[in-house]
């Protein structure tokens, strides 16, 4: 679906090795930037944009080919930059990954809700974020890692408030069951650092990598909950019996 032109600009730079020139109407469509000139129409898909830089009344678009498209001569370039940032750095869909959330097979009790609340609260904070930096900070990898670790330790403490050895054994088994989730959080942390250190020319590429890593965190959380749930159900048996089973597994 096309939109009304956002700005009028003079074209410069290269695209696909071809020099761009002349005046054009600039539109930000659903999945592309459209430059409608007097003689030709140039479409630049979002997926091919690696970054952008706004310098006064000029906007540079960094293409995957290494070419740079220059749009200049209009104060409306700031509006174009804002539209691009909103479209290309929006919050990805993640709730579809949570198949265990609300499923009867996932044992939807209080612990289920508390486990997934970590991600849901981060998502709510991100939806109210005023800018890209705040949005990224809502899913800080270090905070997610700490929150999941703390929550699992809480589960163990609630099961065995008066039996420290059994509590530690349950903690260890619960943490072992979420190793795939923690690995995905580490990948998110790496993508988070790369995004924070990126310059304008690669910001969209780094954002897509971060967004993909965030999606995997939701997927791994969904998968790991079934293991966590099974352990918690098993942990309701006698404390000594649980500790013996854990020691046998470790051996």
DSSP assignment of 24-53: EEEEE-SSEEEEEESS-EEEEEGGGEEEEE
pLDDT in tens, 140-183: 999 999 999 999 999 999 999 999 999 999 999 999 999 999 99
More confident residue, 234 or 159: 159
Can you read off the two tokens belonging to residue 38?
Answer: 């007097």
pLDDT, residue 251, reads 46
pLDDT in tens, 106-132: 454 789 889 999 999 999 999 888 888
Q: For residue 25, is pLDDT > 50?
A: yes
Pick the CATH number of 95-250 from 1.10.1760, 3.90.940, 3.40.50, 1.20.120: 1.20.120
How many other CB atoms sit within 10 Å of the CB of residue 209?
Answer: 19
Closest to 36 measured CA to CA, from 77, 87, 71, 85: 71
pLDDT, residue 150, reads 98
Residue 185, helix vs strand vs coil: helix
pLDDT, residue 235, reads 47
For the chain, give the mean pLDDT. 87
Closest to 144 measured CA to CA, from 189, 196, 174: 189
Distance CA(75)–CA(77), nearest Å, equals 5
pLDDT band at residue 239 using 50, 70 and 90 as cut-offs: very low
Cβ 118 vs Cβ 154: under 8 Å: no
Q: Domain coordinates of the chain in residue numbers?
A: 7-88, 95-250
DSSP assignment of 106-174: G--SHHHHHHHHHHHHHHHHHHT-SSHHHHHHHT-HHHHHHHHHHHHHHHHHHH-TT-HHHHHHHHHHH
pLDDT, residue 228, reads 94
Q: Give the range among 82-91, 93-102, 162-171, 234-243 with minimum mean pLDDT.
A: 234-243
Rg for the chain, CA atoms, rounded: 25
Q: Give the range among 92-101, 159-168, 216-225 with minimum mean pLDDT.
A: 92-101
Domain made up of 7-88: CATH architecture: Roll (2.30)
Phi, psi of 60 (to 5 degrees): -105, 130
pLDDT, residue 9, reads 92
């Amino acid at each position: 679906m096309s939109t009304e032109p956002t700005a009028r600009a003079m074209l410069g730079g290269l695209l696909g090795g071809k020099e761009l020139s002349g005046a054009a109407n600039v539109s930000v469509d659903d999945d592309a930037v459209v430059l409608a000139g007097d003689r030709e129409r140039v479409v630049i898909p979002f997926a091919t944009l690696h970054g952008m830089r706004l310098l006064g009344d000029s906007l540079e678009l960094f293409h995957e080919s290494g070419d740079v498209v220059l749009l200049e001569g209009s104060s409306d370039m700031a509006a174009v930059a804002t539209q691009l940032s909103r479209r290309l750095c929006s919050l990805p869909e993640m709730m579809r990954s949570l198949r265990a959330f609300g499923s009867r097979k996932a044992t939807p009790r209080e612990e289920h809700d508390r486990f997934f609340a970590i991600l849901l609260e981060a998502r709510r904070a991100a939806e109210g974020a005023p800018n890209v930096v705040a949005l990224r900070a809502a899913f800080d990898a270090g905070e997610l890692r700490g929150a999941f670790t703390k929550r699992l330790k809480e589960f163990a403490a609630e099961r065995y408030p008066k039996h420290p050895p059994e509590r530690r054994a349950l903690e260890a088994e619960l943490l072992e069951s979420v190793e795939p989730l923690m690995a995905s959080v580490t990948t998110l942390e790496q993508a988070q650092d790369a995004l924070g250190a990126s310059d304008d020319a690669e910001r969209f590429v780094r954002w897509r990598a971060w967004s993909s890593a965030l999606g995997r965190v939701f997927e791994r959380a969904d998968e790991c909950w079934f293991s966590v749930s099974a352990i918690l159900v098993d942990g309701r048996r006698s404390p000594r019996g649980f500790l013996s089973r854990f020691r046998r597994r470790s051996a």
